[in-house]
Structure 1
Amino acid sequence: MAELEKTIEDKLIEQLTEGKSQWTYRPDLHTEEELWANLRSILERGNKAVLDGKPLTDQEFEQVKNQLSFATFYDAAKWIAGENGIAHVYVQRDTETVQLTALKRDDIAGGSSVYEVINQYRALKDDEEDIHSQNRRFDVSLLINGIPLIHIELKNRQHSYLDGFRQIRKYIREGKFTGIFSAVQMFVVSNAVDTKYFAAAEEEELNEKFLSGWEDFANNPVTDYLKFAENVLKIPEAHQMVMKYAVLDQEARKILLLRPYQIHAIEAVRTASRQGRSGYIWHTTGSGKTMTSYKAARNLLIDIPSIEKTIFLIDRKDLDTQTTQAFQSYANNDVVDVDETDNVGDLIDKLKNNNQQVVVTTIQKLSIAVKKRLKEGTPAYNRIKNLRVAFIVDECHRAVTPRTQRLLAQFFVNSLWYGFTGTPRFSVNAYPAEGDLPRTTDKLYSNEEFRRDPDYQAKVERRELPFCLHRYTVKEAIRDEAVLGFQTEHLGAQKLNADDSNEDLSVYETEAHMLKVLDTIINKSQEKLGFKHGRGKTYEAILTVNSIKRAQAYYDLLKRVVNGETSVTISEETRRVLPDFPKFAITYSVSSDEDNESADLNVPKMKESLEDYNAMFGTSFGIGEIKGYNTNLNDRLARKKSKFKSRDEQLDLVIVVNRLLTGFDAPCLSTVFMDRQPMHPHDIIQAFSRTNRLFDKSKTSGQIVTFQSPHIFKDAVDEALILYSAGGKASVLAPDWDTVYADFTKALAYLRVTAETPSVVPALSKEGKKRFAKAFQEFDKVYTSLKSFIRYADNPPESYGITQAEYDDYAAHYLNVIQELKPGPGPEPGPEPGPEPPIDFEYELKAYSKEKIDYDYIVSLIQSVVSATDEERQEQHYQNLVIEITKYIEELLSSNPKLGALMQQLWEKVQENPDEFKGKRVSYVLAEMRKEAIDSVLRGFAEEWCVSLDAVSYAADRYQVGDTDLPGLNNLKKSADFDSYSAKHEGISKFKYHQSVKKALLTLLNEDVIPLRDDDYRIDDTALLNKS
């Protein structure tokens, strides 16, 4: 028999409160009033001196409550970050303002912090008239100084931990995390055997892909809930997690909680620095090295008093990446200064001042300062040379050459060096030989005195990495779902030998080959680029080639394709979804000659490209503003700013040589197309990893398509993956075409067994529908995977045994079956008996192609308007955004007039006074409007027909378009008050009354409720209506 949730809860509380842990169980705290009273008591005890021994008055404490009732979790996080790590509240007492200390980041364990555990907190609904909300009970919450900062939802072993995640998301949607619970920073969900944590965020921002489990230093998973509590939730770890290992991203207004490997790396750097030891962190690309390196740089300053400066070194080519922006965004609510250097003189000023700070600069500036600008014997020279400094080097496999590193290390006599890379240099891909300079990353980031350790050589001989402070490979990251795996397709010349020995490389130089490549990108990559998601939500891609001249040729040829001047045409299927596809740009270094060609042509060609870009986006970049252009291009590709959520502000493709292939982070980038010969192993992994960031539910793999030397390229990829995944190539690559096609054939055959055609589904028995639902979920997964291959588009859909139209018919019946089988309200049932896995009722179809005006997209655009600054409202892109929203609402009005009318009503209010909505989530406002509209029609129906509002609401919550039966019909009939109805409507029989109630409610649900309730409802769905 499964362990009861209460037993799991009790064991967790016991684990937290016994032994070395400092948590105190408070079984007396169950309501918000009791929690506020507890907080009041703690505040008064901790601030006796400033309160002069006088308790807070009710009026004063109301001021505190107002300050601690946050609009968003992020607002709470900003307050918790406080000033120098101390969070205050303020009360007005007589004529003075009294400052009270509420939380201290560094007051851990032995300090004055109070740690309490509560359970079964009662979160009451705000409005007793709300027929859709319910009172809720929380499982376990952890309070620091009386403030709930960590909340835990538990399930028994018969349920997935994701049920706990969905429960939290539902509670947020219902507004349960308000008042004193609005300060929560971290959520934990567990079913006892699998445990995950994630940062608090608004409901629409929560994504199950971003849940993290815990691991020990060796990256062994810790999944058991009691072991997790021991590692993460005891004191001081829990305190550190929410106050020390949380990062606030001001740009995105998000709380970011570090993953375990990031925490282990930071602690490893701290330990090494205390020992006076250098080293490097090997964390796979895409795993958040920038955030890790930021925290490491910050902690070196805070925790190691002897370190005067932390210098974060980047290569000049990376200045137009996001590193500096990310650092400054993270530091905005932190206790350290992050300063970018404008020039060499500015760098020298920052190094010689007495401020303890993080300085972000380039290797080039620092080298010039050391070699040319600092004069020996001057105060500045002596001050800087003797600085106790820690260097943090991003992308350290290439950012600092061995010669430059030695120059800097010889100058800064009191320096420690810490590198961060996803692709270290080993002996097989070493730096070029140059005298006695180090050739591997392990030797480059080491100390000579530690290399003399007798154990060092033994470790080297055992192929260990003595100066690798922490390792987290791509294999481990994919296992933990911290990054995505790769789906590779190797295209190229046909009928080649297994080693490509008969390949004529000149065929790849022809325009015919280039047109094939562009045809593949434009007309065969819709699945890879997420066309099914609709406008504003598609993915983007990079096309990388081997030279600037080649990149320019591709750019010119693509312009000709778009203008209809070549044999390649843009398909009607593509134009129907995105009429303006492809929107493209190019970037390369104008001043350098990457392929030993004359750079004379680069400037006029770039001018032409800039003119195209300016015309596309209303910018005004000239040839002297390449840095600004590259920054704008990077931001546009990253889509992290709200401005770039609009289709009008987005790109589909950027053509590059080497730019953006290292260190660039754009989660919405799904594909790298490579029309070049294979690169070095570290360059292959770096390029591939532009695609492997987690994004949405549909992005399941990074997509890689190569167009030259298919066999050689495959071997090069295998070699690179073996090198950088510690031999785990199989777990890094998604199944190839042959494997997926075989799985597809089996899944389709079994689907036909459960339901030979879509039309037979409604007549299936309940058990038959269960089998069909499971079979269709499995088929949907493999069908989506098959369609993502370029090869899929080489044959007509019917050749695969099922057309898209037939799939859509199956899907429509599947959606009805899922609603029919979904459990009703009440205690959640355990899994179905028997060996088969249960139906996943939360599964979202991936291959469903039903076109719709995207409700979420319109809401996101309106949110961008609400969030815009006064300055942004004067820009052209803002005016374009207004036009775009108006156009989309008009389309929504034609496909769903009722929801469109509500959207129009909200949009008019936003346009009249956008500041009225500042700090509000548009999705919440519109959800409330929809709920009120539905409530109004349901109340009206209940009153008119003299039936129970609860029975009507039950039917409304469960009913699906096309259903012929009303959910809860018996309860509706039992609640019907025929006498009251007949008193107002003479001459109707009881039988006729019951028939009329059912018919009228079906009509109401189809015509008034469903259009307001379902985001993807279309007026076309009327073909399914009025069945009874």
Structure 2
Amino acid sequence: MAVKPTRSMGERTFQNHVIDGFEQQGYTYVPQSQMDQNFNRETAIDEPTLLEFLADTQPKEVDKVERQYGGRWGEQVIKRIEQVIADKGLLWALRNQIEMAPGAKFKLLYFKPKNDLNQTAVEHYHANRFQVTEEFHYGTMKDDLNNRIDVVLLVNGFPLVTIELKNHQTGQTFCNAIKQYMTDRNPKEQIFQPDLRSLVHFAVDADDVFMTTWLNGKETKFVPSNRGNGKAGGGNPPAEPGKFGTSYLWEEVLTPDSLLDIVERFVQITYHEKDKNGKKITRKVRSAMKAMIFPRYHQLRAVRRLIKATQEQGPGHNYLIQHSAGSGKSYSIGWLAYHLASLTQSDGSSFFNSVIVLVDRVVLDEQLQGTIMNMPHPRGMVAIAKDSAGLRDAVNAGSRIIISTIQKFPYIYNQTDTSGRTFAVIIDEAHSSQSGEAHRKTKQALGDHT
């Protein structure tokens, strides 16, 4: 039953409204009593839901392990999944396949296909289990056994998102939720260890949303994920009738489609280049993690609005993104580049032959270059044009993503063959580079289809 929101409602009523909101978006509500039975605190997985998902979507793979292990097949699958995640991380496991003897390969979830041409892929996507539960028990350590998280979102048995709620009626705000995460949530518990079971943790009240991906006691860093107040300031605009200022979190950001899109194409992990002894790290594993990046609201909105506009209007239009300092511009550019490079028409053909990222510096912006290169991509998808010849060759070869400086185009504008091809051009610091000879030569080099 829907709950009518008011600013005077208590925290429990606010929580009921949030739960109801997630249900309306397609999550299945699981009562605390049932989740207590299903959720194995030692593995930090809702094992019955995960095994049911695997059996329904990948029966041939289940048959392989069942012939090998008999009635213990589920136990062995869970054990193997734990091993892989402990080594390579949850994000890797969700995006790839879990391999185990005797030659079985399991997918832990199915992302939304780019189109409806493959009916099996569509059916698999709809087979994902999206659950929302409340007053979630997770603790394995003595002091945590009775601790509860207000709201948790699970996908195929994995508690990917945790949410602590506060409401003004009780004299508390998101600041109290942040303090709760810092002081009353043990970062050693599996559900709070980065890239082990959960991907993000939200501190939410009726007006504001803050989040973190890495709990570290009092050193935990939370960042805002608000919409902006519409007056060049932080926070959120006044709530619409019948809603809270933070309703967009469950109505937009964390809907099933949106959450899996974020998992597939937004969440990023950075790694240390050297270990404590100064030795170069060659494997990207959990033990070498430096940070986990989950998109903030303004980044999601910018990328998705541009993709939608491109789908509706096609190539040949100009758009402007305004970013304040420290708001993650490099990641927004990187995410946009990969989204544009993978954007397809209804028949499966690409919107653009190449996506070109240009910076207005003689020397390539190392931060932007590193951000784009560190995002998962097939070998050869990204070309870094360090000189004019490299830019010319990358354009003529049709590299999917090309990174360069705008100053190189005057040297190659008459050496490119772009007939019948379309380009998406993302320009950093556009205010200082959209005039003069470099801009004119860029247009000449790429033709009219940009």
What is the TM-score of this pair, normalised by structure 1?
A: 0.35
Deviation digits for residues 94-143 of structure 1, max 9, x if unmatched?
xxx211111233359963322111222222333x5xxx655312221111
Q: Taking structure 1 as reference, are residues 316 and 140 closer, same or farther at Cα in structure 2, changes over 3 Å only? A: closer
Amino acid at match of 2:423: V
Deviation digits for residues 633-689 of structure 1, max 9, x if unmatched?
xxxxxxxxxxxxxxxxxxxxxxxxxxxxxxxxxxxxxxxxxxxxxxxxxxxxxxxxx
Larger Rg computed on CA atoms: 1
Which residue of structure 2 aligns with residue 22 of structure 1? 26
Which residue of structure 1 aligns with residue 280 of structure 2? none
Q: Taking structure 1 as reference, are residues 79 and 365 closer, same or farther at Cα in structure 2, changes over 3 Å only? A: farther
Provide the C-alpha distance between the structure 2 equivalents of 1:25 and 1:35, rounded to a whole number of angstroms.
Answer: 14
1:266 equivalent to 2:281? Answer: no
Amino acid at match of 1:22: G
Q: Taking structure 1 as reference, are residues 13 and 290 closer, same or farther at Cα in structure 2, changes over 3 Å only? A: same
Provide the C-alpha distance between the structure 2 equivalents of 1:256 and 1:148, rounded to a whole number of angstroms.
Answer: 18
Paired residue secondary structure (2:162): strand
Out of 310, 327, 342, the position equivalent to 1:287 is: 327
1:123 equivalent to 2:138? Answer: yes
Which residue of structure 2 aligns with residue 902 of structure 1? none
Q: Taking structure 1 as reference, are residues 65 and 79 closer, same or farther at Cα in structure 2, changes over 3 Å only? A: closer
Which residue of structure 2 aligns with residue 370 of structure 1? 413
Amino acid at match of 2:404: T
Q: Taking structure 1 as reference, are residues 121 and 180 closer, same or farther at Cα in structure 2, changes over 3 Å only? A: farther
Contact 2:409 2:445 in 1 (8 A): no
Provide the C-alpha distance between the structure 1 equivalents of 2:409 and 2:434, rounded to a whole number of angstroms.
Answer: 11
Provide the C-alpha distance between the structure 2 equivalents of 1:263 and 1:88, rounded to a whole number of angstroms.
Answer: 27
Which residue of structure 1 aligns with residue 352 of structure 2? 307
- Report the alpha carbon displacement of residue 53 of structure 1 after superposing the two structures with TM: 7.9
What is the TM-score of this pair, normalised by structure 2?
A: 0.75
Contact 1:102 1:145 in 2 (8 A): yes
Which residue of structure 2 aligns with residue 297 of structure 1? 337
Which residue of structure 2 aligns with residue 519 of structure 1? none
User: Which has the larger share of helix?
Assistant: 1
Q: Taking structure 1 as reference, are residues 267 and 58 closer, same or farther at Cα in structure 2, changes over 3 Å only? A: closer
Which residue of structure 2 aligns with residue 743 of structure 1? none
Provide the C-alpha distance between the structure 2 equivalents of 1:122 and 1:181, rounded to a whole number of angstroms.
Answer: 19
Out of 92, 98, 107, the position equivalent to 2:101 is: 92
Deviation digits for residues 694-729 of structure 1, max 9, x if unmatched?
xxxxxxxxxxxxxxxxxxxxxxxxxxxxxxxxxxxx
Provide the C-alpha distance between the structure 2 equivalents of 1:365 and 1:39, rounded to a whole number of angstroms.
Answer: 52
Provide the C-alpha distance between the structure 2 equivalents of 1:269 and 1:349, rounded to a whole number of angstroms.
Answer: 28
Contact 1:195 1:228 in 2 (8 A): no
Provide the C-alpha distance between the structure 1 equivalents of 2:428 and 2:186, rounded to a whole number of angstroms.
Answer: 38
Q: Taking structure 1 as reference, are residues 211 and 218 closer, same or farther at Cα in structure 2, changes over 3 Å only? A: closer
Provide the C-alpha distance between the structure 1 equivalents of 2:55 and 2:444, rounded to a whole number of angstroms.
Answer: 55
Out of 54, 68, 76, the position equivalent to 1:60 is: 76
Which residue of structure 2 aligns with residue 232 of structure 1? 253
Which residue of structure 2 aligns with residue 968 of structure 1? none
- Report the alpha carbon displacement of residue 335 of structure 1 after superposing the two structures with TM: 9.1
Q: Taking structure 1 as reference, are residues 227 and 316 closer, same or farther at Cα in structure 2, changes over 3 Å only? A: closer
Paired residue secondary structure (1:57): helix
Contact 1:151 1:187 in 2 (8 A): yes
Amino acid at match of 2:139: L
1:389 equivalent to 2:423? Answer: yes
Provide the C-alpha distance between the structure 2 equivalents of 1:281 and 1:202, rounded to a whole number of angstroms.
Answer: 31
Deviation digits for residues 235-285 of structure 1, max 9, x if unmatched?
323333443332333457322222222222212322333313222222233
Which residue of structure 1 aligns with residue 200 of structure 2? 186
Provide the C-alpha distance between the structure 1 equivalents of 2:62 and 2:190, rounded to a whole number of angstroms.
Answer: 32
Which residue of structure 2 aligns with residue 399 of structure 1? 433
Which residue of structure 1 aligns with residue 265 of structure 2? 244
Which residue of structure 2 aligns with residue 153 of structure 1? 164
Provide the C-alpha distance between the structure 2 equivalents of 1:40 and 1:218, rounded to a whole number of angstroms.
Answer: 49
Out of 393, 401, 407, the position equivalent to 1:349 is: 393
1:165 equivalent to 2:178? Answer: yes
Provide the C-alpha distance between the structure 2 equivalents of 1:145 and 1:238, rounded to a whole number of angstroms.
Answer: 13
- In structure 1, the gaps of 5 or more residues are 375-380, 417-1028
Out of 205, 226, 236, the position equivalent to 1:213 is: 226
Out of 210, 213, 226, the position equivalent to 1:200 is: 213
Which residue of structure 1 aligns with residue 447 of structure 2? 413
- Report the alpha carbon displacement of residue 386 of structure 1 after superposing the two structures with TM: 4.0
Amino acid at match of 2:257: P
Deviation digits for residues 972-991 of structure 1, max 9, x if unmatched?
xxxxxxxxxxxxxxxxxxxx
Contact 1:30 1:119 in 2 (8 A): no
1:177 equivalent to 2:191? Answer: yes
Paired residue secondary structure (1:6): helix
Paired residue secondary structure (2:36): coil
- Report the alpha carbon displacement of residue 194 of structure 1 after superposing the two structures with TM: 2.8
Provide the C-alpha distance between the structure 1 equivalents of 2:189 and 2:159, rounded to a whole number of angstroms.
Answer: 16
Which residue of structure 2 aligns with residue 737 of structure 1? none
Q: Taking structure 1 as reference, are residues 215 and 336 closer, same or farther at Cα in structure 2, changes over 3 Å only? A: farther
Provide the C-alpha distance between the structure 2 equivalents of 1:228 and 1:62, rounded to a whole number of angstroms.
Answer: 31
- 5 Å matches for 1:829-908? none
Deviation digits for residues 775-826 of structure 1, max 9, x if unmatched?
xxxxxxxxxxxxxxxxxxxxxxxxxxxxxxxxxxxxxxxxxxxxxxxxxxxx
Amino acid at match of 1:42: F
- 5 Å matches for 1:937-948? none
Provide the C-alpha distance between the structure 1 equivalents of 2:153 and 2:402, rounded to a whole number of angstroms.
Answer: 37
Contact 1:409 1:415 in 2 (8 A): no
Contact 1:309 1:358 in 2 (8 A): yes
Provide the C-alpha distance between the structure 2 equivalents of 1:292 and 1:180, rounded to a whole number of angstroms.
Answer: 22
Q: C-alpha root-mean-square deviation of aligned residues, in Å?
A: 3.3
Which residue of structure 2 aligns with residue 358 of structure 1? 401
Provide the C-alpha distance between the structure 2 equivalents of 1:125 and 1:53, rounded to a whole number of angstroms.
Answer: 33
- In structure 2, the gaps of 5 or more residues are 1-6, 67-71, 115-121, 273-288, 345-349
Contact 1:60 1:92 in 2 (8 A): no
- Report the alpha carbon displacement of residue 402 of structure 1 after superposing the two structures with TM: 3.3
Out of 287, 292, 296, the position equivalent to 1:255 is: 292
Deviation digits for residues 508-552 of structure 1, max 9, x if unmatched?
xxxxxxxxxxxxxxxxxxxxxxxxxxxxxxxxxxxxxxxxxxxxx
Paired residue secondary structure (1:120): strand
Provide the C-alpha distance between the structure 1 equivalents of 2:435 and 2:298, rounded to a whole number of angstroms.
Answer: 27
Q: Which has the higher contact order (CA 8 A, sep 6+)?
A: 2
Which residue of structure 2 aligns with residue 626 of structure 1? none
Amino acid at match of 1:254: A
